[in-house]
Each structure stands twice: as C-alpha cells, then as structure tokens.
Amino acid sequence: MKILVTGGAGFIGSAVIRHIISNTTDSVINVDKLTYAGNLESLAEASLSPRYAFEHVDICDRNQMDRVLNEYQPDAIMHLAAESHVDRSITGPSEFIQTNIIGTYTLLEAARHYWASLDTARKKDFRFHHISTDEVYGDLEGPEDLFTETTPYQPSSPYSASKASSDHLVRAWARTYGLPTLVTNCSNNYGPCHFPEKLIPLIILNALEGKSLPVYGKGDQVRDWLYVEDHARALYCVVTKGAVGETYNIGGHNEKQNIEVVRALCELLDDLCPDSAFHPHASLITYVEDRPGHDQRYAIDASKIQRELGWVPEETFETGLRKTVEWYLNNPEWVAHVKSGSYQQWIDQNYAGRPNSA
C-alpha cells in the first residue's frame, strides 16, 4: 500500500510512520505543515527509507493537496494533522478552527475528487481514516461509565469542539458522497517524541531542571493513558482491517488521576537519576489554578476493536512510563532542539500567571 499520513511529523503521526516503515512493506507520504509541534527529527531513521517521502504542505491548501494526491496516488489517507493542545485552544481558538475544521473539510474535498477518479478496483479498496480523540465525548458522570462508539458528543473546549466538528464532517462525506471512511477516537497518548508542553513530558523535563511541576487543581482529573506505539499499531490495524463506515475507540486500559501520573514520574526519576540535585523530585510538585472547563474523567471502552480486529495494548502503564522516561533521558539533543523560544514563551504564558491552588 501507499499511505498518505497528514501530520506525520507530529507526536502520534511520527509514531505511525515509524511503525509502518519498520514493520510493513508499505510506502508512506508524510504531509505536514511543520508547526511548532511538528518535528522531522522524530522521523530521522524512517526518513532514510526509500519507501518514505515528505511534502511540506498545509492541508488547508487545496491546490497543493490535489497535487500531492495526483502525484503519489495513495491507497489510503490517515488524517492526523490537527491542533491538539487544549490550553492553546483556550487562549487562541482560531488556529484550531482553521486546521481542525477547515483543514479537514479541504482534505475531504481533495480526497473525494481523487477517489472518484480511481478505477473500480482501487476505488473499492481506498480508505480515508480520520484520527480523533475521546475528548469529543465530554465529561463522564459516573465512576464506572465508559466512552463507547455511540456515546453522544458533548465537547467542552474549543479543541474538542473543533475535533467533534471534523468527526461530523467525515461522517457526512461518507453518508452524502459515499467516501469510504473510518473514524477512531483515542485516549490520552504518551511516549517518545512527545512535545514537551503536554503533561508527561512537561513533568519529566521540568523535574530534570529542578523547576516546579504544575498540577491543575487538586490533580484528581482521571485520564485513560495509551502508549503511543500501541496506538500506532491500532491505527494501522484499523486502516488495513477496519470495516468501512465504522468507528473504533482506542484506549490503554490505564485510568489514572493526574496526580498519580506525576508522582509515578517522580518515583521513576528518583530511581533512574539517584544523583539528581532535585531528589526527591516529588518535592517540586506545585498545585496551580485549574484551567477553564476542565473535564473530570475520560475512560474508553476499547472492547470493539479488540473483539472485531484483535488489537490489544502491549504496554502496561508501568512499562510504558518507564520506557518514556528512559527515552527522554537518552535523547537530550531532541529535547534541546524542540524547546525553542516560542515554546518557552508559551510555557511562561500558560503557567507563570496561574496562582497556586493549594
């Protein structure tokens, strides 16, 4: 297969590409705008393969997307390009509307016209796989509730609302035009090459530098954590084996409160960095004012993808978290390159002005 991956220089997209290049004979076309969160260094090894190609293109540029599709003739599109950081969506929602909604619409139209031009056999086999988030479902009520593929949408943030909108667009293009689509909604990802404004890499890198470890509110928000390489396997499984028109929820079966995650990271750093001047690292934990509209609990029912496609996560939270911490400790150059001035300005803007909540 030839698979076009949008957002392939991002955290999850780069994991998908690394998986495809390392574990299959398929070819990949990486289409990425290279915003602050796009990092081609995450694809250093994969980019050496003759089965890899990169196009520096914005999915909102219809002419360029038409060109890329016609030139490379992909058999499938895996759409991961998105603005994804909730806090950034609160302070500046316009980029999320542009990329997540207008960009998805533009890509759908380009894909629809490309798909219509294919011969009968290739048209039948073509797939448009839209990768989304469990945040579109909103906040779970009961402690035993789980998100299923039929849970009503109740997005809480500009980010999740923009992703919910893109999900609806994909399903509308399937229903109206017959475009063969698949949708997946995943829980919180973590692992190597994660941009360091997200919780787990932020805590790791702040702890290594002796900076405060900011925890929103009481830190009692619950998330289901999914190791990114497990997610990459699941996404490839869906695009190659999933039934057209179906939605698959992907979760790691690892529900943890945010404060539990932070304390587990501190314990790992105490173990792996016993000579650190900031030992014990838990002493750096600081509780800060919660963000607006913060959902309390997400949890995925991933039984459908296990039952129908045979996917289950390979990593436990403990094994995945240790691999993640070790990766950051072993890749200081990647970290140094990704922590640009603009990233640091954002961190200062988002956390410096928040009063302590304790």
pLDDT tens-digit map of 172-199: 999 999 999 999 999 999 999 998 878 9
Starting at the edge strand found earlier in the chain, the sheet holding 222-227 runs: 188-190, 222-227, 255-257
DSSP summary character for residue 40? G
Q: Is residue 311 part of a domain?
A: yes
Inside any domain, residue 330: no
Q: What is the pLDDT of residue 354?
A: 57
Tokens representing 268 are: 């790992």
pLDDT score, position 291 = 74
Q: Give pLDDT tens digits for 258-290.
A: 999 999 999 999 999 999 999 999 999 999 988
Determine how β-strand 255-257 pairs with β-strand 222-227: antiparallel
Q: What is the DSSP letter of 281?
A: G
Residue 37 resides in a domain: yes
Write the burial class of residue 319 (CB in 10 Å: 0-12 exposed, 13-18 middle, 19+ buried).
exposed
pLDDT given for residue 197 in this prediction? 78
Q: Is the pTM of this model over 0.75?
A: yes
Q: Which residues contact 104 (CB under 8 A, 6 or more apart)?
A: 59, 79, 130, 165, 166, 169, 170
Please check whether residue 38 lies inside any domain of the structure.
yes
Q: What is the CATH number of the domain that holds 49?
A: 3.40.50.720
Which residue, 202, 193, 131, 143, is CA-closest to 167?
131
d(CA 73, CA 53): 13
Tell me, yes or no, whether 342 lies in a domain: no
Q: Tally the domains of the chain.
A: 1
- AA letter at 223: R
d(CA 149, CA 309): 15
- Please, which residues bridge with residue 248 across strands? 184
Helix, strand, or coil (residue 183): strand
Each residue's pLDDT tens digit, 111-149: 999 999 999 999 999 999 999 999 999 988 777 899 999
Those residues of the chain that have pLDDT short of 70 are 340-358
Catalytic sites, residue numbers: 134-135, 159
Domain assignment of residue 99, given as a range: 2-193+225-256+297-317
**Quick one: pLDDT at residue 224?**
92
